[in-house]
Amino acid sequence: MTQPPFIAVEGPIGAGKTTLSSMLAEELNLPIIKEIVEENPFLGKFYDNIDEWSFQLEMFFLCNRYKQLEDTGVQYISQNQPVISDYHIYKNMIFAERTLKGVKRDKYRQIYHVLTDDLPKPDIIIYIRASLDTLLARIEKRGRVFEEAMDTAYLEQLMADYDEAMASIALSEPETKIITIDGDIIDFVENREQFHTIASQLKELIHERIQHT
Ligand SMILES: Nc1ncnc2c1ncn2[C@@H]1O[C@H](COP(=O)(O)OP(=O)(O)O)[C@@H](O)[C@H]1O
Ligand SMILES: Nc1nc2c(ncn2[C@H]2C[C@H](O)[C@@H](COP(=O)(O)O)O2)c(=O)[nH]1
């Protein structure tokens, strides 16, 4: 039996994940699972010194996402309720593979698999891509102080890592539907028509999948 749709909005930092997932949740009346960022005690320290703080930060993100998906994701799925999230659990690996090295990376990989292998995985991914200039402009617009120390090369590397990760999911999970949005061209914030095109496409996919559940 297929599960009711679990939708994840993904993309590099500043792509518009939280914005788009919140808009879609409201438009389609879906419950939303949202990342908690402001209370993260390690992010500021991490951007000041990645090597020193990466393990603590990656573990913090992993444990929080695990707990959130365990508490709410599993509950919605078991009630046959479609749900949208502003992250995919695989995001942890995208970042950790970039920020961790050696023994810590090996340990992290093991813990990641132990915690996440039996979690429900999204079967629809909305992947927002955008150019470096667009991402930088949106990060600046958001104005989080701790992100001022972010290195541009780090963000550029993450953009490539995201492309690679999405290509790998497309190959290894052909049943997962990936909708790619060009965030430089499609403006779901300013252009209602463009937002409605995305919302209608998602509504149709949810409808199709519910019928097969
Ligand atoms: N399409 C868009 N056009 C203009 N501003 C946007 C757009 N998408 C997001 N933003 C703004 O960019 C910033 C980052 O968006 P956010 O949703 O927090 O990104 P993410 O969750 O991917 O890091 C926010 O200030 C948001 O209001
Ligand atoms: N090293 C990691 N950093 C992460 C991870 N998830 C999010 N983040 C950072 C990136 C941003 O500064 C901030 C919010 O993320 P958004 O993508 O929502 O803008 O947190 C992670 O797993 N590892």
- Tell me, yes or no, whether 40 lies in a domain: yes
In the structure encoding, which two tokens stand for residue 117, read together? 């292998």
Kindly tell me if the per-residue pLDDT of 206 is higher than 90.
yes
Range of the domain at 97: 6-212
In the structure encoding, which two tokens stand for residue 148, read together? 């001022």
- Tell me, yes or no, whether 65 lies in a domain: yes
Provide the strand spans (E) within the chain: 6-10, 32-33, 83-85, 124-129, 177-182
Average pLDDT, the chain: 94
- Nearest ligand 1 atom to alpha carbon 142: 25
pLDDT in tens, 94-147: 999 999 999 999 999 999 999 999 998 999 999 999 999 999 999 999 999 999
- Tell me, yes or no, whether 94 lies in a domain: yes
Is residue 11 part of an annotated ligand binding site?
yes
Domain count within the chain = 1
Cα(207) to ligand 2 centroid in Å equals 31
pLDDT in tens, 10-63: 999 999 999 999 999 999 999 999 998 888 899 999 999 999 999 999 999 999
* First CA to last CA distance, the chain: 6
Distance CA 24, CA 177 (A): 17
- Tell me, yes or no, whether 54 lies in a domain: yes
Distance CA 55, CA 20 (A): 29
- Tell me, yes or no, whether 186 lies in a domain: yes
Strands 124-129 and 6-10: parallel
Residue 142, ligand 1, Cβ within 6 A: yes
pLDDT greater at residue 191 or residue 213: 191
202-207 long-range contacts, CB within 8 A, separation 24+: 202/7, 202/24, 202/28, 202/124, 202/126, 203/28, 205/5, 205/124, 205/177, 206/5, 206/7, 206/28, 206/82, 206/124
User: Residue 187 has what pLDDT?
Assistant: 95
Distance CA 20, CA 34 (A): 11
- Tell me, yes or no, whether 206 lies in a domain: yes
* Poorest-pLDDT segment among 6-15, 75-84, 152-161, 168-177: 75-84
Is residue 73 part of an annotated ligand binding site?
no
Q: How far is CA 17 from the centre of its chain?
A: 7
User: Residue 83 has what pLDDT?
Assistant: 95
- Tell me, yes or no, whether 1 lies in a domain: no
For residue 124, the 8-state DSSP code is: E
% the chain with pLDDT above 70: 98
Res. 213 pLDDT band, cuts 50 70 90: low
Q: What is the best residue among 19, 91, 95, 182 to mutate for testing ligand 1's pocket, by most ligand atoms within 8 Å of CB?
A: 19
The yes-or-no answer on residue 86 being catalytic is yes
Rounded to an integer, the average pLDDT of 161-177 is 97
Distance CA 144, CA 35 (A): 15
Provide the strand spans (E) within 75-146: 83-85, 124-129
If you write DSSP's letter for every residue of 28-65 in order, what string do you get? HT--EE----TT-SSHHHHHH-HHHHHHHHHHHHHHHH
Distance CA 176, CA 166 (A): 10
User: Residue 169 has what pLDDT?
Assistant: 97
For residue 71, the 8-state DSSP code is: I
CATH number at residue 113: 3.40.50.300
User: Residue 77 has what pLDDT?
Assistant: 83
Residue 209, ligand 2, Cβ within 6 A: no
User: Residue 1 has what pLDDT?
Assistant: 47
The one-letter amino acid code at 61 reads F
Cα(58) to ligand 2 centroid in Å equals 9
pLDDT in tens, 83-101: 999 999 999 999 999 999 9
